[in-house]
Structure 1
Amino acid sequence: MLILLSPAKSLDYEAAPTTDKHTLPQFVKESAELIEVLKPYTPAQIASLMDLSDALSTLNVARYAAWRPRFTAKNSKQAVLAFNGDVYEGLDATSLKQADLDWAQDHVAILSGLYGILRPLDWIQPYRLEMGTKLPNPRGKDLYAWWGDTLANHLNAQLTRQKDDLIINLASQEYFKSVKRKALKARVIECVFEDWKNGDWKVISFHAKRARGLMARHAILKQAKKPADLLNFKAESYAYDEAASEADRFVFRRKLPD
């Protein structure tokens, strides 16, 4: 089983990492080439390209300038500990034991505009580059053209090593689109998280993102091997709804008190 996650925009490089174990990203060459594409951009151009404030665009231009192909404990942090958005609050990697992180290292893949695919303990340097960014590059008009079949082929190889063919997609559509389905040789199960609101079941972005992290945590702690291992997920009042689900689309719902 491979569990796919999106990265986070928010980053935490202030808190000390809870583990010393680390690995290096597997697509450093491609990342370095993308950084070279980004370096000539001014803060105003980055603000326009990425729809960022002046402060954030200035920060990220400085990040591109500071980025180095050599990763160290001073300029890097493990991806699963550096990412700090809703998904990662649900995942709560800082409370995982080393054995849990070791399992996640082999079974969790974080999709990234800059780094391609990250393992949880891969060191990353600070960056902002969302997968949907229309960044012209030597391979095409955007990052989907840049990564091409690379990410699907990488996941295929990882599944082959595991002698498995199952992917649990907890990534957003923006990120999962970078994994070309025609090239992917796997069964993909989507997990959907819905809340009851105003008389209907709805996917509420903030809650759904957090729930994806909670599901990833559930799979890690259970060392999930098969789809059925996900069905007893009950974090924060969610429960599997068999009637609303399909073979490759697991729906989890909850009704919170008003």
Structure 2
Amino acid sequence: MLVLLPPSEGKAASGRGAPLKPESLSLPGLAEARAAVLDELVELCAADEDKAREVLGLSEGLRGEVAKNTELRTAGARPAGEIYTGVLYDALDLASLEAPAKKRAARALLVFSGLWGAVRMSDRIPSYRCSMGVKLPGLGALGAHWREPMAQVMPEVAGDGLVLDLRSAAYASAWKPKGGIAGRTATVRVLHAPTRKVVSHFNKATKGRIVRSLLESGSAPANPVELVEALRELHYVVEVEAPTKAGRAWSLDVLVDEVH
């Protein structure tokens, strides 16, 4: 099982240890594309703080994030599983998982990123600010920048098993499962059962709990049908929409009564 996650906008502070070693990151086929984004982002933030803030879509109160980006090559790095915070990651709570579940997380979880393309939880990265929706002056829209390199590396990463896609639309733009991979892919919406509406905060928290439940249970669904069975065994209420055409993903709605 491969689980595709969005990053969090907010991130923990960089560590005090060794700085980023780009060559150590997973998915080495993304190295050239990563270097291009890193170079332009650091240069932009070092040259013109106001322009950088505009490009990155940051408010005045987040001006410090620009300065953070100027130090990406020298700041201490920490495992991505510690850098990403926010609602989904708080609910997932990787640090409190037992050892077997942590090992499954290391194998299964892949976080998409505007700066790095995608990273594993063990990849050591500095804290940064650069969403997939950013359009850099030189490289252009990052979603488009990542499509070709992602198309090259992701089929091997996806393997021949289930792909559980929990990314938001901006991050899904960087890679869309195609062909046989799409038929093994399931996307998930979380709906407030009484209203059948998606609530952003609630949606993220429930997705984090779903991933945690799967990791803790040791469940290893090989396809979307087995995923539905596993989630129902974990007491989730799931509605399924199978693809009507080849090359499309399965759609799952998880219904929850309480919004919290």
TM-score (norm 1): 0.81
**Counterpart of 1:154?**
153
Aligned partner of 2:188 among 151, 175, 191: 191
Q: Provide the rounded CA distance (Å) in 1 between the counterparts of 2:186 and 2:201.
A: 21
How far apart are 1:32 and its partner, in Å? 3.0
How far apart are 1:15 and its partner, in Å? 9.1
User: Contact 2:177/2:185 (CA < 8 Å) preserved in 1?
Assistant: no
Q: Provide the rounded CA distance (Å) in 2 between the counterparts of 1:35 and 1:14.
A: 16
Q: Provide the rounded CA distance (Å) in 2 between the counterparts of 1:183 and 1:146.
A: 22
How far apart are 1:28 and its partner, in Å? 4.6
Matches within 5 A, 1:73-84: 75-84=76-85
Where in structure 2 are there 5+ consecutive unaligned residues? Answer: 17-22, 222-226, 243-249
Matches within 5 A, 1:213-228: 213-226=208-221, 227=227, 228=229
TM-score (norm 2): 0.80
**Deviation beyond 6 Å, 4+ runs, structure 1:** none
User: Contact 1:5/1:111 (CA < 8 Å) preserved in 2?
Assistant: yes
Please say which of residues 202-211 and 187-196 is displaced more in the overlay.
187-196
User: Contact 1:169/1:188 (CA < 8 Å) preserved in 2?
Assistant: yes
How far apart are 1:5 and its partner, in Å? 0.4
Q: Does 1:168 align with 2:164?
A: yes
**Counterpart of 2:245?**
none
Q: Provide the rounded CA distance (Å) in 2 between the counterparts of 1:214 and 1:15.
A: 27
How far apart are 1:184 and its partner, in Å? 7.6
Higher percent of residues as helix? 2
Q: Provide the rounded CA distance (Å) in 2 between the counterparts of 1:184 and 1:114.
A: 28
Residues 13 and 50 from structure 1, CA distance in 2 versus in 1: closer, same or farther, beyond 3 angstroms?
closer
How far apart are 1:85 and its partner, in Å? 0.7
User: Contact 2:15/2:76 (CA < 8 Å) preserved in 1?
Assistant: no
Residues 15 and 150 from structure 1, CA distance in 2 versus in 1: closer, same or farther, beyond 3 angstroms?
closer
Question: Aligned letter for 2:215?
Answer: I
**Counterpart of 2:257?**
255
Question: Aligned letter for 1:13?
Answer: A
**Counterpart of 1:180?**
176
User: Contact 1:112/1:131 (CA < 8 Å) preserved in 2?
Assistant: yes
Matches within 5 A, 1:206-217: 206-217=201-212
Aligned partner of 1:66 among 61, 71, 74: 71
Q: Provide the rounded CA distance (Å) in 2 between the counterparts of 1:211 and 1:150.
A: 31
Q: Provide the rounded CA distance (Å) in 2 between the counterparts of 1:182 and 1:206.
A: 29
Question: Aligned letter for 2:255?
Answer: R
Residues 76 and 88 from structure 1, CA distance in 2 versus in 1: closer, same or farther, beyond 3 angstroms?
same
Residue deviations 1:3-34 (CA, integer Å, cap 9, x gap): 11000011123899xxxxxx932345433321
Residue deviations 1:104-161 (CA, integer Å, cap 9, x gap): 11111111111111111111111111011122334xx21122112322432210233x
Q: Provide the rounded CA distance (Å) in 2 between the counterparts of 1:54 and 1:133.
A: 17
Question: Aligned letter for 2:7?
Answer: P
User: Contact 2:12/2:84 (CA < 8 Å) preserved in 1?
Assistant: yes
Residues 183 and 50 from structure 1, CA distance in 2 versus in 1: closer, same or farther, beyond 3 angstroms?
farther
Matches within 5 A, 1:60-139: 60-68=65-73, 75-138=76-139
**Counterpart of 2:9?**
9
Paired residue total: 235
Tell me the SS of whatever aligns to 1:40. Answer: helix
Identity fraction in percent: 25
